[in-house]
Amino acid sequence: MTQTATDTFTVTNPATGESVGSFPVHTADDIAERLAAGREAQVWWSGLTFAERKTRINRWIAAIATRSDEICDLGFRETGRPRGDVQFELIAGLEDLRWAAAHAKRVLKPRKVAPGMALFNFGAEVSYPPLGVAGVIAPWNVPIYTVLCGLAYALAAGNAAIVKPSEYAPASSVLVMDAFYDANPDAPRGLITWVTGFADTGSALCRAGLDKIAFTGSVPTGRKVMAACAENLTPVLLELGGKDVTIVAEDADVEKAATAVVWGGYFNGGQACVGIERVYVTRAVREPFLAKVKELAEQVTAGLEDGASYGPMIVPAQIDLVRRHVSAAVEAGAIALVGGVDSIRAPFVDPIVLVDVPEDNAAVQEETFGPVIVINTVADVEEAIAKANATRFGLGSSVFSARRGKEIAARLKAGGTTINSVLTFVGMPSVPFGGIGDSGFGRFHGDDGLREFAAPKATTTKRFQLGPDMQSFPRREEDFEQVRKMVKFRYAKRRGA
């Protein structure tokens, strides 16, 4: 594809201001050009067998892995995160590609189904043709992972895709996408294309008449995406924000819970949709839990380069949000167990733990998206579950309990729950990933993730004529009489189970 945009913008390292590269601001015309190329390429791609697509995706995985040092370096430079964290999201993205390619045939190949008694003279088949050209809009916090996640399921299902990475971190994912053509020089260049720019470019993508938009980002933007897509009735998948919770029950292994919460809260500087932002600890284990969290959190360091536990806040506006939430909590009487407002030394924010924050406080109800963990004490698990479910979000969650993990997990309103660990459902491509409530709808990952990018189709075949032909005129009284008898025979004696 040629780049036709004339305006450009510069991407800089948020910690040093170093320029990482310059990217075009693409317009609706650029998107229209990519869509036309995508439609052509998709015909070629969907004409391949599942095995042929899998081979090409596997070649792409190998090409990405070969260039992984270069990709992680670019990811470090554009977000300031430790290279280890970039490596972490790259592995998660590669696992998505591998899993989707390996399982697409099992999930999406046509299958015969029972036609049912009333139409048993028919054959019935369900098939899963691709949608066409999908749009993938991605955020800045895990830019490679969120791009690969959308692409994996869209491509494995037989679609072409146009990707819009975040304006804050497009460089690493553009390199990853371009590696597809290094590995597959025979593929038409419209199969995976990308556009860069700001809200207007994303909005134009939503309005361009694509066959699906898979959006990962914030709740306010998710609303705009859905409204823009409504104009053409373009279906949407929304992976939005979270306020993920951990419950620490009376019978929890407190040391393991504290270790996991500190990692889950501060991984990526808390700039993770599934980061642990709230903890409900039962009174019986409050003191040892708080002591261990404090001990561990004080060892966590924010900084640049690989010695740091996490890097800078990637977007300046996030620093103001963290300040607002921490100030609101402290003003409302919360205890700053670790750090406090003084921990904010832009562009870095040192680890903060807030204890006993009122439930209606912004620090409990709104997504903070920074290294801030709120820990509130509850009398028992019942109270913990009620409070855990009392936000508008429902992305991830976790529970620590020796005996009641499954029971508590089943009652948490969230797209995923991890028992006696945190976040693991995200790194497992075999299970669906997504949210409920303000955390969005639709799923990446797993069989459901592949079906997101297909249009289930029913094909029924008449095999022979059986009894009266009810699909013809004129209708005879005796035919209705037969149907009447059939209704009574089949349904009248049903008793519950």
Q: List residues with catalytic annotation.
A: 239, 273
267 contacts ligand NAD (rule: CB under 6 A): no
445 contacts ligand NAD (rule: CB under 6 A): no
State the minimum distance, in angstroms, from the CB of residue 162 to ligand NAD: 12
240 contacts ligand NAD (rule: CB under 6 A): yes
Residues 6+ apart with CB under 8 A from 79: 13, 14, 86, 140, 143, 168, 169, 311, 314
User: Which lies closer to ligand NAD via its Cβ, residue 82 or residue 437?
Assistant: 437
- Window of 58-66, 218-226, 331-339, 486-494 that interacts with ligand NAD by CB under 6 A: 218-226
- Of 308, 395, 399, 412, the residue at the interface with ligand NAD (CB under 6 A) is 395
- Window of 58-66, 72-80, 139-147, 185-193 that interacts with ligand NAD by CB under 6 A: 139-147
- Window of 17-25, 54-62, 235-243, 330-338 that interacts with ligand NAD by CB under 6 A: 235-243
Residues 36-95 that bind ligand NAD (CB under 6 A): none
State the minimum distance, in angstroms, from the CB of residue 361 to ligand NAD: 19
DSSP tag of 215? E
483 contacts ligand NAD (rule: CB under 6 A): no
User: Which lies closer to ligand NAD via its Cβ, residue 120 or residue 198?
Assistant: 198
Residue nearest to ligand NAD (CB): 202
322 contacts ligand NAD (rule: CB under 6 A): no
For 370, other C-beta atoms within 10 Å of its C-beta total: 25
State the minimum distance, in angstroms, from the CB of residue 196 to ligand NAD: 9
- Of 367, 375, 399, 405, the residue at the interface with ligand NAD (CB under 6 A) is 367
User: Which lies closer to ligand NAD via its Cβ, residue 408 or residue 426?
Assistant: 426
- Of 192, 206, 285, 372, the residue at the interface with ligand NAD (CB under 6 A) is 206
Residue whose tokens read 């419950």: 247
Q: For helices 143-156 and 68-79, give the axis angle rounded to 10 degrees.
A: 130
167 contacts ligand NAD (rule: CB under 6 A): yes
Closest listed residue to residue 170, CA positions, set 82, 60, 78, 65: 78
- Of 217, 371, 405, 432, the residue at the interface with ligand NAD (CB under 6 A) is 217
Q: Give yes or no for a contact between 24 and 34, defined as CB atoms under 8 angstroms apart.
A: no
26 contacts ligand NAD (rule: CB under 6 A): no
State the minimum distance, in angstroms, from the CB of residue 464 to ligand NAD: 50
DSSP helix, strand, coil percent of the chain (3-state; round to 5)? 45, 20, 40
# chain residues binding ligand NAD, by CB under 6 A: 30
User: Which lies closer to ligand NAD via its Cβ, residue 149 or residue 385?
Assistant: 149
Build a one-symbol-per-residue string for 297-316: x at contacts with ligand NAD by CB under 6 A, - elsewhere. Answer: --------------------
User: Which lies closer to ligand NAD via its Cβ, residue 15 or residue 210?
Assistant: 210
User: Which lies closer to ligand NAD via its Cβ, residue 340 or residue 440?
Assistant: 440
- Window of 136-144, 251-259, 323-331, 371-379 that interacts with ligand NAD by CB under 6 A: 136-144
User: Which lies closer to ligand NAD via its Cβ, residue 225 or residue 248?
Assistant: 225
State the minimum distance, in angstroms, from the CB of residue 481 to ligand NAD: 57
- Of 134, 151, 262, 273, the residue at the interface with ligand NAD (CB under 6 A) is 273
- Of 96, 239, 366, 438, the residue at the interface with ligand NAD (CB under 6 A) is 239
Please name every residue paired with 8 in a beta bridge, in sequence order, or none if there are none: 24
State the minimum distance, in angstroms, from the CB of residue 57 to ligand NAD: 21
Closest listed residue to residue 294, CA positions, set 354, 363, 380, 361: 354
- Of 15, 31, 72, 138, the residue at the interface with ligand NAD (CB under 6 A) is 138
The residues of the shown chain that bind ligand NAD, judged by CB under 6 A, are: 137-142, 146, 164, 166-167, 198-199, 202-203, 206, 216-218, 221, 224-225, 239-242, 273, 367, 369, 395, 435
